[in-house]
Amino acid sequence: MLNQTQKVSEYELPIKIEPQKEGGYIVVCTQWSDCYAQGDTVDEAVLEITAVAQSLIELYKEEGLKIPLKKQKMRGVTNPLTVPIIVAA
């Protein structure tokens, strides 16, 4: 069994939650136009945008693109309506 250590990065994901007239919620990242999601509940929408952000971060890293999010400096310190995104570095 190999003991491997993987480096991780934590980003701040500032979001805006918008209820939809027909039901459900749209969640958008206020700093990243490519990052948005929807869900039937607030919790579902937030989980979806978290997954989208993780995928986008990995894609941007592979393509050598700049990720438009701030990296967390201290664990556990976030602004209101900021979701921490943790990805393999």
Domains of the chain: 8-88 (3.30.160.250)
Structure tokens at 78: 């976030």
User: What sign results for the dihedral spanned by CA atoms 33, 45, 77, 85?
Assistant: negative
Whether 17 and 25 have beta carbons less than 8 Å apart is answered as yes
Asked if residue 46 has pLDDT above 90, the reply is yes
Mean local confidence (pLDDT), 18-28: 96
Cα–Cα nearest to 16, from 88, 84, 80, 87: 80
Whether 50 and 35 have beta carbons less than 8 Å apart is answered as no
Asked if residue 64 has pLDDT above 70, the reply is yes
Global model pTM greater than 0.95: no
The amino acid at 69: L
More confident of the two residues 14 and 9: 14
| Predicted pLDDT of residue 45 | 96
